[in-house]
Amino acid sequence: RCYSSAAAKTLTIGLIPGDGIGKEVIPAGRQVLEALPSSYGLKFNFIDLKAGFDHFQAAGTALPEETLSALRSECQGALFGAVSSPTTKVEGYSSPIVALRKKLNLYANVRPVKSVDNGIDRPVDLVIVRENTEDLYVKEEKTFENPDGTKVAEAIKRITEVASKKIGKMAFEIALRRQALRDLGLKSIHSSPSVTITHKSNVLSLTDGLFRETIRNFYDNHLDKFESIELKEQIVDSMVYKLFREPENFDVIVGPNLYGDILSDGAAALVGSLGLIPSCNVGENFVIGEPCHGSAPDIEGQNIANPIATIRSTAMMLEFLGYDKAAAKIYEAVDANLIENKIISPDLGGTSKTTEVIEDILKRIN
Amino acid sequence: RCYSSAAAKTLTIGLIPGDGIGKEVIPAGRQVLEALPSSYGLKFNFIDLKAGFDHFQAAGTALPEETLSALRSECQGALFGAVSSPTTKVEGYSSPIVALRKKLNLYANVRPVKSVDNGIDRPVDLVIVRENTEDLYVKEEKTFENPDGTKVAEAIKRITEVASKKIGKMAFEIALRRQALRDLGLKSIHSSPSVTITHKSNVLSLTDGLFRETIRNFYDNHLDKFESIELKEQIVDSMVYKLFREPENFDVIVGPNLYGDILSDGAAALVGSLGLIPSCNVGENFVIGEPCHGSAPDIEGQNIANPIATIRSTAMMLEFLGYDKAAAKIYEAVDANLIENKIISPDLGGTSKTTEVIEDILKRIN
Ligand SMILES: CC(C)[C@H](C(=O)O)[C@@H](O)C(=O)O
Ligand SMILES: CC(C)[C@H](C(=O)O)[C@@H](O)C(=O)O
């Protein structure tokens, strides 16, 4: 038992492609894990799991019980592709990814957005840390009619001290970790680390006010640990403005669920394509890597989706499971592909196929 | 009485500078109105009115009853500067502009964002039509404690069929009007007019679903009038992404209050400065022009705020009061100043003072 760290560790990973291009990119996650040199001491089992709108239409449920129980009892982590959510109310349908985040208490959605040093992109190197279980995503909605017969609908936006504190802690820990990596000589545009709280407490003084105040209190109570990190804040509208005008001024941005959703798409626009942006849904005992892009029905089945968001999400999953070196290997392979700027999918102006981009990155991992 | 249209019409305009740079830019609105050549047949009375955080601190109310009653009984329109809203809960304080929008039922906040044809800016020519009275801005919030003593806060997001229909109608009418202006030879980047509904009904199927569905129904029921206008939609996160990647594909964007708030700051980032972006709060019987920027305490009192957002808001106020030609004169004077790109405030990279920019624009109106 004393030598267990030297033996190959086996991780069981759930693969949930979902809908649309999810089915084309999730295989990339599996392939990069399988390609990791044995020197990293990792072996993988994979379990194919169902979820999504296609499955809902075929089987009446978007998130089968078997998927949930396999994740809970057999897996250490998972990769989720995308779902094509209907925009009109479909009786009985509910987004499986929103449900997974809540049911597995994956309280943080971490979304790094980083430009590649290829002389084309504007320098961006930030992480959005999005609360992942509450806000308007509690989905407590109701409708009723006015006496005159016109309709009214209401939704609850819920913010708790408990979730705000957890996401605040995660944001500061990530800022500290980024600082440590920079201290080790990792190139970055940031000379000084910071966490920016984003909120709209000039209007929502109680809800967003609680979010803001809880994170401020957490910081004040843990100054010993986080004193090297500057605490900043931005009202969400102004945050979107500044994100585009001066992205280089942001390091870690923390926000409630909905603002995090909006800001991460906004930040993605800064670096050329949503197809590059990974995310990781992180809980105490479980992580799900998930590309930020959607199911993209317009390009489905053409083998042209960018697999990089999924490959980076796979690395993030490893990172949050504690396997930093294996994660770094994957990140570097992706960066090398992007810096070379040759075998590149159409969203980045290239002509390569999904499978060609995957092959190129696999070659750099082996 | 038959000749009344030939006589000079007198309009009474409330001036509400508010806080910070509001005090420096609102005078510009008054000056451009006074500078309008008499051939436009307009005369103006001005009433100075109080509101804002400074006033709250001095007098215990952010929106005095006298301001509200003067607007209601004496004015045809008003200009509002900015307020410095506190981000923490201040007992008894409530944002006066949010209150004015609701109390005067100014149901639409119209925010045009247009680049100037100066060879520098990326072409953008869109209007954000923001619902202005409901959504999370109903500010119905409460807090309570869990049994373990931790805090919870909730806010109501309310969407009504009545308000959604009104804002939808406004969006289509603006799209039609923009099309008519283009047909008259006005230069524009849009070959075909459109209204894009922005929402998050993949998560908020009842509230944002009602917004979306009401506007779709309105369109279907008024196809005879609006058939030349294409109806499109974008989920709000993807809307922010596309706003930055392909702004030239958007003409009129309509959204609930909060998304409209966020999107208008986002769009402002596309054209160089929030200091350029006007807005108009529009109701059945009243309009308030309002620059989109805030009170900007960091540059207060230095005579360097950009007065253009206010000057354009003044023109918008005239436009919504039915005085298109006078409005056009002001817009042209501003465009001429920007195209010349000489007497320009610091936010645009210039060195001119607020008062110098105003003078330059006044010269072009006289
Ligand atoms: C598909 C949708 C429910 C989801 C969200 O809003 O969280 C997506 O936009 C995301 O960002 O992961
Ligand atoms: C100051 C604030 C209450 C206001 C809003 O959120 O509406 C502002 O951001 C705006 O856009 O006019």
A261 CA distance to ligand 1 middle (Å): 7
Q: Is residue B289 part of a domain?
A: yes
Pick the last residue of a domain from B244, B270, B296: B270
Q: Is residue B192 part of a domain?
A: yes
Pair (B250, B166) in one structural domain: yes
Pair (A44, A13) in one structural domain: yes
Pair (B18, B55) in one structural domain: yes
Q: Is the CB of A95 under 6 A from ligand 1?
A: yes
pLDDT band at B32 (very low <50, low <70, confident <90, very high): very high
Q: Is residue B315 part of a domain?
A: yes
Pair (A331, A294) in one structural domain: yes
Give the CATH number, domain containing residue B177: 3.40.50
Which residue range(s) make up the domain with A312?
A: 1-109+276-366
pLDDT band at A366 (very low <50, low <70, confident <90, very high): confident
Cβ–Cβ < 8 Å for B202, B165: no
Residue A5 CB neighbour total at 10 angstroms:
7
Q: Is residue A5 over pLDDT 70? A: no
Query: What average pLDDT does range A192-207 have in this prediction?
Result: 95
Pair (B166, B233) in one structural domain: yes
Rounded Cα distance between A268 and A275, Å, is: 9
CB contact under 8 A, B210 and A137: no
Query: Ligand nearest B239 Cα, by number?
Result: 1
Instruction: State which residue of chain A sits closest to B151, comparing Cα positions.
Output: A161
Rounded Cα distance between A330 and B238, Å, is: 28
CB contact under 8 A, A88 and B209: yes
Rounded Cα distance between A338 and A336, Å, is: 5
Q: Is A156 buried (19+), middle (13-18) or exposed (0-12) by CB count in 10 A?
A: middle
How many angstroms separate the Cα of A48 from the Cα of each of A291, A296, A318? 17, 21, 18
Mean pLDDT of chain B: 94
Give the contacts of A106 (CB within 8 A, at least 6 positions apart): A100, A132, A133, A281, A282, A283, A286, A287, A288
Pair (A164, A259) in one structural domain: yes
Pair (B171, B249) in one structural domain: yes
B203 CA distance to ligand 1 middle (Å): 8
Q: Is residue A235 part of a domain?
A: yes
Rounded Cα distance between B349 and B282, Å, is: 32
What are the phi and psi torsion angles at A201 (to 5°)?
Answer: -80, 0
Pair (A143, A237) in one structural domain: yes
As given in the structure block, the two tokens for residue A295 are 């199911």
Considering only CA atoms, which of B156, B87, B138, B214 is closest in space to residue A136?
B156
Q: Is the CB of B202 under 6 A from ligand 1?
A: yes
Considering only CA atoms, which of B139, B144, B125 is closest in space to residue B194?
B125
Instruction: State which residue of chain B sits closest to A97, comparing Cα positions.
Output: B203
Q: Is residue A115 part of a domain?
A: no
Specify the pLDDT at position A60. Answer: 94
Task: State the Cα angle at A36 between A30 and A38, rounded to 5°.
Answer: 130
Specify the pLDDT at position B4. Answer: 42
Stated as kind and residue range, the H or E segment containing A335 is helix A324-340
Specify the pLDDT at position A120. Answer: 67
Q: Is residue A164 part of a domain?
A: yes
Name every chain B residue with its beta carbon within 8 A of the beta carbon of A154: 156-159, 207
Q: Is residue B341 part of a domain?
A: yes
pLDDT band at A99 (very low <50, low <70, confident <90, very high): very high
Q: Is the CB of A109 under 6 A from ligand 1?
A: no
CB contact under 8 A, B204 and A141: yes
Percent of chain B beyond pLDDT 70? 97
Query: Ligand nearest B240 Cα, by number?
Result: 1
Total domain count for chain A?
2
Q: Is residue A118 over pLDDT 80? A: no
pTM to 2 decimal places: 0.95
Least confident of A89-98, A218-227, B134-143, B183-192: B183-192
Q: Is residue A4 over pLDDT 50? A: no
Cβ–Cβ < 8 Å for A131, A256: yes
Tokens 């986080």 appear where? A226
Pick the last residue of a domain from B220, B254, B270: B270
B272 CA distance to ligand 1 middle (Å): 30
Give the contacts of A343 (CB within 8 A, at least 6 positions apart): A337, A350, A352, A356, A357, A360
Tokens 């092959």 appear where? A359
pLDDT in tens, B239-269: 999 999 999 999 999 999 999 999 999 999 9
Pair (B302, B328) in one structural domain: yes
pLDDT band at A107 (very low <50, low <70, confident <90, very high): very high
Q: Is residue A114 part of a domain?
A: no
Specify the pLDDT at position B88. Answer: 79
Pair (A43, A73) in one structural domain: yes
Residue B85 CA, closest ligand 2 atom number: 1
Pick the last residue of a domain from A237, A270, A303: A270
Pair (A256, A289) in one structural domain: no
pLDDT in tens, A122-167: 789 999 999 999 999 999 999 999 999 999 999 999 999 999 999 9
Give the CATH number, domain containing residue A16: 3.40.718.10
Pair (A256, A152) in one structural domain: yes
